[in-house]
Amino acid sequence: MSHSCTLTSRVEDYLHVKRQLGYELRCQGTQLLAFARFAEGRGHRGPVTLDLALRWARDSHSERPITAAKRIEVLRPFIRYLQQYDPDTEVPPHRILGSTHHRPVPHIFSDEEVEALLAAASRLSPRGGLRPATYETLFGLIAATGMRISEALRLERSDVMFEHGMLSVRKSKFHRSRLVPLHATTIAALRRYAHLRDRLLPLATDDNFFLSQWGCALKIWNAEDAFCTLRRRLGWVARGEHQAPRIHDLRHTFITNCLLRWYRRQINVDNAIAALSTYVGHVRVTDTYWYVSAIPELMAVASQRFERYAREIADE
């Protein structure tokens, strides 16, 4: 690689080409430029080697193997691009540092924890104001439907169809939309919240269903801050692989509890899981099947069911 054509300039050219094709590459672009600075800072000359790529991938503050695996996978398309300029460029083999798709086991809330969360939310200050009602209803909705926090916060007033007993979730993850039927108790809770919101904020013009006490759309960092406050007050200790329970774990809990009920009631999970996958907005049914192997409670029930099946086969 010539002095006039630096690795940084190659990265910039690559990003320009990819973005012209519609790829954003925000995080990847930042990492590729960091790789170029790493190489140039160490005086690297000539084609990119496997050793150089591996040294950069492992040069991270995180000691988790998956971090290095993800970093090397970011490099692979760019290094393939470099081969057209220098055939001696060494492209890292696929998954040379392992899988990049480990999902940490979530915290699965007990019924008592969910009840405690909603009760604590209802006691937030100011008492009798919109803020406690907002968080009690928001967290209760996520627990009752498995919605993503981003989906709940983007709900507009017209998306909550009281007369039909369902929500319209528009342009969610991967630009997918869906209808979410609701239990009668969930509809009643949303009605109570809407009535209080309109009574306390009669002049609010924001179309969002969930509003702050100042009449503005609720932001995700507002919800995260309130959840962290409640988590500290409740003294929760994480049971999953994350440092602490998260709002998103309410979604995991909903899906897990659905599967647990089906297994315990001897319902054919293979037939029902497609409906659940659609209900929660999963793109692939395999995303929903992941819970069966990842959640200890589900794994235990599935194993017991298989043991009964095996005994029946042996007795025939």
Residues noted as catalytic: 148, 173, 248, 251, 282, 291
Q: How far apart are CA 254 and CA 149, in angstroms?
A: 13
Ramachandran region of residue 60, left (φ > 0), alpha (ψ -120 to 50) or beta?
beta
Burial of residue 7 (number of CB atoms within 10 Å: 0-12, 13-18, 19+): buried
The DSSP symbol for 92 reads: P
Helix (H, G, I), strand (E, B) or coil at 297: helix
Is residue 126 reached through a cis peptide bond, with omega within 30 degrees of 0 on the bond before it? yes
Q: How far apart are CA 148 and CA 137, in angstroms?
A: 14
CA angle 219, 225, 230 (to 5 degrees): 130
Alpha helices in the chain (DSSP H): 7-20, 26-41, 50-58, 65-82, 111-122, 130-145, 149-154, 184-200, 220-234, 248-264, 269-280, 285-294, 296-315
